[in-house]
Structure 1
Amino acid sequence: MKTRTISAIIAMIILVSTNVSARETLAKATKGKFLMGVAINMQQVNGVNPVESDLIANEFSAVVAENCMKPQPTHPQENKYVWDDADKFVAFGEKNKQTVTGHCLIWHSQIGRWMFVNDSGKDVSPEVLKERMRQHIYAVVGRYKGRVKGWDVVNEAFEDNGTYRKSKFYQILGKDFIKYAFQFAHEADPNAELYYNDYNVETPAKCDAIVQLVKELKAAGCRIDAVGSQSHMHMVNPTLEATETSFKKLKAAGVHILITEWDVSILPSPYDGANISASFKYSKEMDPYRDGVPADVQQKWNKRVLDMFGLFLKYSDVVDRVTVWGLNDAGTWLNGFPIRGRMDYPVLFDRKNQRKSVVDEMIKMAQKTKVKK
């Protein structure tokens, strides 16, 4: 009897301890420092897996849609808008009292060809493209006016060498397409924050080009609140030093910083970047952890995550949000990029929706950091 009583007490202590631990989340630990966000898909919004939907609601203070608010899904044809998924996504965030970000308004990828051509299949005039941009932005931003905190207005307009990407927007309108996009977004919702978003912002030439863009937009009277650094990272690149240097440059330019699409690939990579048009052939050498990650490799990944998270906290006076690109390893886009069929482990929850051990360390780190806002 005595043994059973002791066992019961121990079990109760373990249960209470577990429940207390479960109440500690990154969202709570980072409150007042920055928002802790996650990108979500429609299955999660629709509650196909209730565990995932609950995790998103309880563990994070901000959400962004992986795909449903991009130009192609919302505006597949010139005179056709599709709102069902975007409406559900925004309502999901509101229901859970989370900050909602709109992603994204203008992007060269995942956009209908109709935006750029006339009935003959030839490029439209600058005036026509400008008007189509205005109508698109007014419709999307206007629909969610007052419900979305901020918008990724323009996505990935630069190459890594700092030159403008020769997208159709650029070919027809020149670099002014960015200015027009920010003007239209502000007109559609004057209270919404406006962001420029890109990958490899840690690359010096690209960062310098973005800083110059910020200066030009401000000189033109445009609102720009923050620059989003996607932060798709690898085990070595970008370095902590390069990342901090980019933070310093952006801070000096007078904008805040958003970590918008954070993940850390544990796999070897044929290149550094997030250009979604890239692809490489599968090989076992590039997919070494089919049976799980060795303990020593996992420790290195944990340290990499903690080093970067510590840097985000160091700059929490200007870092407004840290968003992980995907809830769990099973759903990460990196399982198929840039090599299809691999098993990557780049985010904070595993394939069984269990917190990785690094999350508790991140929470402790955040709790020890003083609020700088």
Structure 2
Amino acid sequence: MNSQLKSRMFHSTITLLNTDGSPLINQPAIVKQINHKFLFGTAAFDTVPLANNEYTGKSLEQAHIRAEKLTTLFNAATLPFYWGQFEPQRGQPKTESLKHAAQWCLDHHLTVKGHPLCWHTLCADWLLPLTNSEILAEEKKRIRREVSDFRGLIDMWDVINEAVIMPVFNRYDNGITRICKEMGRIQTIKTMFETARAENPDAIFLINDFDTSVAYDILVEGCLAAGVKFDAIGIQSHMHQGYWGVEKTLEILERFSRFNLPIHFTETTLVSGQLMPPEIVDLNDYQVKDWPSTPEGEERQAIEAVMHYETLFAHPLVQSITWWDMQDGNWLNSPGGLIRRDGSAKPAYDELLKRVKGEWWLEKTDFFTDENGCLHFSGFPGEYEITAAGERQIISIDQGSDRATIRL
């Protein structure tokens, strides 16, 4: 384990007390990690039909295989709230369907994020006949509804997605680009964040973008100067055209670290087949019927995935990495999943599992308290189960809060 990863670890002293308050001296204790504080996530759109009993027969069997792999590796999930799909008919949102999916995720110990509340792509077509003021009113209404309806189920949201390109997006007409042109990027962002935060002040609200250039850097700076509060900065890393490499990744991290805000890598993709041609500007323009995963590509994907995750996990401001997405053949029909179309795990899945639930994880371990009743152990921030004297307790341990006293 490299020194940067070690710097993320805590070195804990936990004092165990008997029921009478005396220290539990020189006695056996068992410690095991049960969750990471760091969010290792994936796009989990497949949980929507699964949680709503839409699969049957062989499809249901395959869905359970995917779900088992999801919950084994990950502790976070992103669910889809694309407006045009979530509310295709005005006033008829698919709230209950998404609530079932969110509850399924929580039941399987996954922290849930909703994606996104405001985006010009996959926008609701029924906005088009409306005036700009009416579109803005509907967007604010939509944000209030979702943040309120899902409070307690989803308390993390990508509030606005890809705002750098939003006012100049010209692929097709949509309501959000219209209002962003009129209001400007910063005022649009400020309005959406203030609307969301008013409904749930305790939630985590992100700005998110695929544009990692200085344009995004400048936009974040301008928003902060205008009083917009970001709980985290979301950075997409869709690498269909090839792995960025450690140097580029660190350069991006250095630029955005100057804001001293948590950083979430919200959408990470590395393909295990032929790379997308470099001349493609908009990834959505690359439409192919067959984009297979190959043995050579899977080996490359595994090596690059480990390098990317180790680079990000070692950085003190990065708090989350989300793979986009779980299975081959979803977005762009690409071999960008960690599992193949048949549900079998690729080498990248296995290598990440070795780290997330291996090298970066404390398995069930036997300890003895010392002469003061103290346990001493090291690990990565998260939740730990401690068993001693026939009692079991769960505690959260982080850097800076790595001393605790437990009365059994």
For the criterion TM > 0.5, the same-fold answer is yes
Q: Tell me which structure has the larger Cα radius of gyration.
A: 2
Report the CA distance shift for 1:133/1:298 in structure 2 as closer, same or farther (over 3 A): closer
1:268-287 matched pairs, under 5 angstroms: 268-271=275-278, 275=282, 277-280=284-287, 287=291
Q: State the alpha-carbon separation in 2 of the partners of residues 298 and 56 from structure 1.
A: 19
Cα pair 1:38 1:327 within 8 Å, conserved: yes
Q: Secondary structure in 2 aligned to 1:261?
A: strand
Q: State the alpha-carbon separation in 1 of the partners of residues 111 and 155 from structure 2.
A: 7
Q: State the alpha-carbon separation in 2 of the partners of residues 281 and 355 from structure 1.
A: 23
Cα pair 2:264 2:319 within 8 Å, conserved: yes
Establish whether residue 357 from structure 1 lines up as the match of residue 355 from structure 2: no
Q: Secondary structure in 2 aligned to 1:224?
A: coil
Q: Give me the TM-score of the superposition, normalised by structure 1.
A: 0.74
Alignment coverage as a number of residue pairs: 313
Higher RCO structure, 1 or 2 (CA under 8 Å, sep 6+): 2
Report the CA distance shift for 1:271/1:185 in structure 2 as closer, same or farther (over 3 A): farther
Q: Secondary structure in 2 aligned to 1:230?
A: strand
1:190 maps to which of 201, 209, 213 = 201
Q: State the alpha-carbon separation in 1 of the partners of residues 270 and 189 from structure 2.
A: 29
Which is richer in helix?
A: 1
Q: Secondary structure in 2 aligned to 1:312?
A: helix
Cα pair 1:193 1:225 within 8 Å, conserved: yes
1:131-142 matched pairs, under 5 angstroms: 131-142=137-148
Report the CA distance shift for 1:163/1:54 in structure 2 as closer, same or farther (over 3 A): same
Aligned-partner residue type, residue 69 of structure 2: L
Paired residue for 2:376? none
Establish whether residue 168 from structure 1 lines up as the match of residue 209 from structure 2: no
Q: State the alpha-carbon separation in 2 of the partners of residues 273 and 58 from structure 1.
A: 35
Establish whether residue 61 from structure 1 lines up as the match of residue 75 from structure 2: yes
Structure 2 unaligned spans of 5+: 1-32, 56-62, 171-176, 361-378, 382-398, 400-408
Report the CA distance shift for 1:100/1:272 in structure 2 as closer, same or farther (over 3 A): farther
Aligned-CA RMSD value: 2.8
Cα pair 2:41 2:75 within 8 Å, conserved: yes
Paired residue for 1:51? 65
Q: State the alpha-carbon separation in 2 of the partners of residues 355 and 29 from structure 1.
A: 23
Q: State the alpha-carbon separation in 1 of the partners of residues 119 and 341 from structure 2.
A: 31
The percentage of aligned residue pairs carrying the same residue is: 22
Paired residue for 1:338? none
Which is richer in strand?
A: 2
Q: State the alpha-carbon separation in 2 of the partners of residues 250 and 114 from structure 1.
A: 37
2:338 maps to which of 330, 338, 348 = 348
Paired residue for 1:319? 318
Cα pair 1:227 1:256 within 8 Å, conserved: yes
Q: State the alpha-carbon separation in 2 of the partners of residues 200 and 89 from structure 1.
A: 30
Paired residue for 1:8? none
Establish whether residue 213 from structure 1 lines up as the match of residue 206 from structure 2: no
Q: Secondary structure in 2 aligned to 1:246?
A: helix
